[in-house]
Structure 1
């Protein structure tokens, strides 16, 4: 927890009720221990989508389809979402949830490794990217993500502060988490210092970055 738990609880108490399908998916995700975006992240996404009004959205990490469906409820009718998921066990669940939400025409669901799929996509086509996939892969995803983003496009990356562990020495972090720790620090260094991005690190949820392509 990187923000005082009482503050987080208070913020959650102010949130509006989601659509029935999102409430159902959220309940099932919590029961099955499937990670989905936090309530404060939902609100942030909604605000950013309202501000940006994107026509083409790329999501890396569909999981069970929760965030893709949430975003689909916030965009204009002609807008589209492309979402990529590699974890076989979650793919059929995500497909069914997207179908149950009636969003099959809005959300294009691509199955497979994002590092294999992204090079097949046309460059400069997305004006909004939400990255919430394997954290150790963010640094590897970034060059392709940049290629796919239009000038002025927004990139939001979730879970970048690792429950606060990111500020710890690598020797304090559990051995099995050291690769993620190293690569996430590298990712933050790159997005903060890239001449092609303007980036802010925001300590909401488990920490996010919001970047704009210059």
Structure 2
């Protein structure tokens, strides 16, 4: 996986910030050793801080993977809180179910199996926090649903938005096969940065995290895509 910060800095951050303890730490370590794509440790610690501040009761996750991030977020909700997580890849979900059971969270975390594009329109919410770590080229399509499902003050956290730093390059400098996702991600970052419904920041940790807070109700209107490809 590519990161936007130097390896020596990542190693330092992962050394100075303690690993998670118990079963959660075991799941994190197992996934890391198996090269399973979970959020890096520095991003996980950032997520922990955000959830400590927000104190959410209901969370929606788009992209379950092996259940590490949903199990992590479950540590920061009340006993009657819930996490709904969406994924369409059974190869991941079979491990996620095992890990969620290992954590004793089967009554807290509800897995919806299928394509988020099909499931999101059926959800009613509201969700205090939405964490999105799924198909990067679909972030823009998922965004209007996320805004609808958040209340004012709700938080949208989006992982892997900087493409190892390539997002700052001209589309002509990235491989041709990556140009479509490059354009879509640029447009997504433009949209969250210019919507009058959101207050947004893009943080260069891991492979980039976008943090958005919904500041008012309103109909999602696409402001116009970024024109500059340079």
TM-score of the superposed pair, with normalisation by structure 1: 0.95
The aligned residue for residue 40 of structure 2 is 38
- 2:59 matches 1:57: yes
The aligned residue for residue 207 of structure 2 is 206
The aligned residue for residue 160 of structure 1 is 161
More divergent stretch after superposition (171-180 vs 203-212): 171-180
Is the CA contact 2:137–2:185 (under 8 Å) kept in the aligned structure 1?
Answer: yes
The aligned residue for residue 219 of structure 2 is none
Q: Unaligned stretches of 5+ in structure 2?
A: 216-230
Offset at residue 24 of structure 1 (A): 2.4
- 2:98 matches 1:96: yes
Offset at residue 175 of structure 1 (A): 1.8
CA distance in 2, matches of 1:93, 1:3: 30
Offset at residue 96 of structure 1 (A): 1.0
Is the CA contact 2:192–2:198 (under 8 Å) kept in the aligned structure 1?
Answer: yes
Alignment of 1:54-203 (within 5 A): 54-123=56-125, 125-203=126-204
The aligned residue for residue 5 of structure 1 is 7
The one-character-per-residue Cα deviations of 1:173-193 (angstroms, maximum 9, x if unpaired) are: 112211111100000000000
TM-score of the superposed pair, with normalisation by structure 2: 0.89
The one-character-per-residue Cα deviations of 1:14-33 (angstroms, maximum 9, x if unpaired) are: 12231322232223323432
CA distance in 1, matches of 2:175, 2:44: 30
Question: What secondary structure sits across from 2:56 in the alignment?
Answer: coil
CA distance in 2, matches of 1:203, 1:87: 28
Offset at residue 39 of structure 1 (A): 0.8
CA distance in 1, matches of 2:15, 2:36: 22
Give the length in aligned residue pairs: 213
CA distance in 2, matches of 1:171, 1:183: 14
